[in-house]
Amino acid sequence: MTVPGADVVLLRHGDIGVKSAHVQAAMEGHLAERVAAMLDARGVEGRVEHEWGRLFVRTDEPEGATDAVTDVFGVHTASPARAVPARMDAITDALAATARTVYDGGTFAVEARRTGDHDFTSHDVGHEGGDAIWRAVSDDVDPVVDLDDPDHRFFVEVRDEEAFVFVEKRDGPGGFPVGTQAPLVALISGGIDSPVAGWQAMRRGAPIVPLYLDLGAYGGVDHRERAFATIDTLAQYVPTQDMRPRVVQVGEYVDRLVDAIDSTRMLSYRRFMYRIAEHVADTVDAAGIVTGEALGQKSSQTVRNLNAVDRATRVPIHRPLLTRDKQEIIAAARRIGTYNDATIDAGCQRVAPDKPATRATVAAVEAAEPADLFEWAADAAASVEVVERSRTEGSS
Ligand SMILES: Nc1ncnc2c1ncn2[C@@H]1O[C@H](COP(=O)(O)OP(=O)(O)OP(=O)(O)O)[C@@H](O)[C@H]1O
């Protein structure tokens, strides 16, 4: 619940803080820009201020602003807060007003931090603030202080001329602001896994260029639409990025693979797929490929098979979900918002052979696949199409 009179949102970052001073300063600048862009994209009024180690959004819409900023990569937590002058009477008044609104019984604690010169300590703030809260609510409830595990936490942060009163720290995605790493081509099939993998890459700062391979008769309109729907959802996290899907038609090539190869078919299909991604990466100056593969999840994802398929490309393949269980990935997809889009059943299952190889060698895969497989990939990639979507075209 937002504190009454909230007029600012405090933003904290996480991993940015372990960087050297000049990198941290640059990343905080990036973060401030991303926060401003997100507010703009969500239609929330707010002015972003940046001080060393901390960002603030001054706003008349603290709820909307908090919702928006907790979707920005790089934001670890955010707190809608009320700013008051850094005087004890102003702080205790704000705490009392907040307690009257949010305190519905149980135990409480005041947690105070302070930087700057003041004629009181953070211990004083805790003590006098606790008294003020007690007086504010003791007619209605029986307030009890518990500093270890309270039901209600009242936070006060005193910074120089101002003090901020708040009651919650809402989680953001953490990580780094998008754009602080080179781009990656993300192979997005629209299943449950690949959108989560793309999101994870963005969370660590790498913009993604979404690439969808249209399987023609093996996929269908639903398959394509679910991929686009997940990309639209991902695009909402990065309003400044160009998230238009890149689409390559591969149906006729898959037909040929199904006719030509049996047990190692999926592995050659992956090699073909990575090669297409490599071509796209070259055209957009991306420095790697992201997939939603997880160790052992499918026959094509055994350690040996991953080794065999990786040899097809000189571009590194990043697999953020490599060690995740399916249930963890599903939970992440639900949090991110891509789960529902991804549950339409379609696609690769129809390409897979009845008895897929699980311990393939590079030599065996190469021996079974058409000699010109990589030329097919080059031909297919040459007709890559950029699909215009109303919500996915970035503003910078
Ligand atoms: N049609 C496609 N377009 C783009 N990428 C694809 C496509 N099919 C597969 N991939 C990529 O290959 C990875 C492994 O393929 P797999 O067959 O396991 O995907 P899936 O089960 O259809 O979807 P997901 O892995 O997203 O749940 C995917 O995570 C994705 O990165």
DSSP assignments along 126-176, one per residue? HHHHHHHHHHHHTTTS--EE-SSS-SEEEEEEEETTEEEEES--EE---S-
Contact 272, 373 (CB under 8 A): yes
For ligand 1, residues with CB inside 6 Å are: 187-189, 191-194, 211-213, 215, 291-293, 298, 347-348
Q: Does residue 194 lie within any of the structural domains? A: yes
pLDDT tens per residue, range 60-117: 999 999 999 999 999 999 999 999 999 999 999 999 999 999 999 999 999 999 999 9
pLDDT digits (tens, 9 = 90+) for 160-206: 999 999 999 999 999 999 999 999 999 999 899 999 999 999 999 99
Q: Could you tell me if residue 179 is inside a domain? A: no
Contacts of 269 (CB under 8 A, 6+ apart): 254, 257, 348, 351
Residue 246 is part of which domain span?
184-386
**Percentage of the chain modeled with pLDDT above 70:** 96
Answer yes or no: is 270 a known binding residue: yes
Q: What is the mean pLDDT of residues 245-257?
A: 95
Question: Is residue 301 part of an annotated ligand binding site?
Answer: yes
| Lookup: tokens for 393 | 């075209």
Helix axes 265-284, 373-382, angle to 10 degrees: 40
Give domain status of residue 227, yes or no.
Answer: yes
Both 71 and 155 in a single domain?
yes
**Torsion angle in degrees (nearest 10) through CA of 242, 253, 362, 311:** -20
Closest C-alpha to ligand 1, atom 22? 191
Last residue within a domain, chosen from 143, 171, 199: 171
Write down which residue in 171, 203, 223 finishes a domain. 171
Give the 3-state secondary structure of residue 50.
strand
**Tens of pLDDT along 340-357?**
877 765 555 578 888 998
DSSP string, 4-32: TT--EEEEEESGGGGS-HHHHHHHHHHHH
The CATH number that applies at residue 296 is 3.40.50.620
Taking the centre of ligand 1 as the mean of its atom positions, its distance from the CA of residue 227, in whole angstroms, is 10
Question: Residue 194 Cα, ligand 1 centroid: separation in angstroms?
Answer: 6
Does pLDDT of 389 surpass 50? yes
Of the pLDDT bands very low, low, confident and very high (cuts 50, 70, 90), residue 394 is low
* Paired tokens of 87: 């005087």
Which atom of ligand 1 is least distant from the CA of 298?
Answer: 18
Q: Is residue 16 domain-resident?
A: yes
CA–centroid distance, residue 201 to ligand 1 (Å): 16
Going by their DSSP bridges, the two strands 317-318 and 385-386 should be labelled as unpaired
pLDDT for residue 396: 41
In terms of domains, do 30 and 158 share one? yes
Confidence of residue 386 (pLDDT cuts 50, 70, 90): very high
- Residues 163, 225, single domain; the answer is no
Q: Are residues 124 and 211 in the same domain?
A: no
In testing the pocket of ligand 1, which one of 184, 189, 224 has its CB within 8 Å of the most ligand atoms? 189
Asked whether residue 326 is domain-assigned, the answer is yes
Total domain count, the chain: 2
| Residues facing 9 on adjacent strands | 57, 80
Whether 177 is covered by a domain: the verdict is no
Same domain, 97 and 209: no
Closest by CA to 250, choosing from 258, 242, 262, is 258
Specify which residues 115 forms β-bridges with.
159
- CA-based nearest residue to 324, from 296, 352, 302: 296
- The alpha carbon of 171 and the centre of ligand 1 are apart by a number of angstroms equal to 29
The domain boundary, picked from 171, 206, 239, lies at: 171
Q: What is residue 326's DSSP assignment?
A: H
- The residue with greater pLDDT, 17 or 323, is 323
- Ligand 1: atom nearest CA of 250 is 1
User: Is there a single domain that holds both residue 148 and residue 209?
Assistant: no
Q: What is the pTM of this model?
A: 0.94
164 vs 94: CA distance, rounded Å: 9
Amino acid symbol at 272 = F
Q: Which atom of ligand 1 is nearest to the CA of 321?
A: 29
For residue 291, the CA-to-ligand 1 centroid distance in Å is: 7
Helical ranges in 42-154 per DSSP H: 62-69, 88-102, 122-137
Using the mean position of ligand 1's atoms as its centre, give its distance from the Cα of residue 182 in Å: 22
What ipTM, to 2 d.p.? Answer: 0.98
- Tell me if 394 is assigned to some domain: no
Here the tokens at position 183 are: 């781009």
| Highest mean pLDDT out of 227-231, 297-301, 345-349, 358-362 | 227-231
CATH code for position 21: 3.30.2130.30
